[in-house]
Chains A and B, each alone.
Chain A
Amino acid sequence: MPDLGKYTETVLSSYAISLILLAGIILVSLRRARRVKKELQDVEKKVKSNG
Chain B
Amino acid sequence: MSQTSLWEYANPRKFLQTTDRVLPWVAALAGVTLVVGLVWGFFFTPDDYRQGATVKIVYLHVPAALMAINAWLMMLVASLIWIIRRHHVSALAARAAAPVGMIMTVIALLTGAIWGQPIWGTWWVWDPRLTSFLILFLFYLGYMALWEAIENDDTAADLTAILCLVGSVFALLSRYAVNFWSQGLHQGASLSVQPGERMAMIYKLPLYVSMTGFALLFIALVLVRTRTEIRARRMRALLARERMGGA
**Residues of A at under 8 Å CB distance from B?**
1-8, 10-11, 13-15, 17-18, 21-22, 24-26, 28-30, 32-33, 36-37, 39-40, 43-44, 46-47, 50
Given the contacts A14-B57, A14-B60, A18-B60, A33 and B227 also touching, CB distance less than 8 Å: yes
Complex CA gap A24/B102 in Å reads: 12
Assess whether B42 is in contact with A2, with CB atoms less than 8 Å apart. Answer: yes
Assess whether B228 is in contact with A4, with CB atoms less than 8 Å apart. Answer: no
Does chain A have a CB within 8 A of B130? Answer: no
**Interface SS majority for chain A:** helix
Chain B min CB distance to A45 (Å): 11
Contact of A17 among B52, B111, B117, B238 (CB under 8 A): B111
Assess whether A29 is in contact with B221, with CB atoms less than 8 Å apart. Answer: yes
Assess whether A11 is in contact with B53, with CB atoms less than 8 Å apart. Answer: yes
Complex CA gap A1/B64 in Å reads: 24
**Residues of B at under 8 Å CB distance from A?**
38, 42-43, 47, 52-54, 56-57, 60-61, 64, 99-100, 103, 106-107, 110-111, 114-115, 117-118, 217, 221, 224-225, 227-228, 231-232, 234-235, 238-239, 241-242, 245
Q: Using Cβ atoms and an 8 Å threshold, which residues of chain A touch B52? A: 5-7
Given the contacts A14-B57, A29-B221, A40-B231, A2 and B99 also touching, CB distance less than 8 Å: no
Complex CA gap A33/B221 in Å reads: 11
Assess whether B64 is in contact with A18, with CB atoms less than 8 Å apart. Answer: yes
Complex CA gap A29/B235 in Å reads: 18
Given the contacts A10-B57, A14-B60, A32-B228, A43 and B235 also touching, CB distance less than 8 Å: yes
Complex CA gap A32/B96 in Å reads: 12
For the complex of A and B, list the 6 residue pairs with the smallest distance between their C-beta atoms, beginning with the closest. A4-B53, A7-B53, A33-B228, A18-B60, A25-B103, A14-B111
Complex CA gap A15/B114 in Å reads: 10
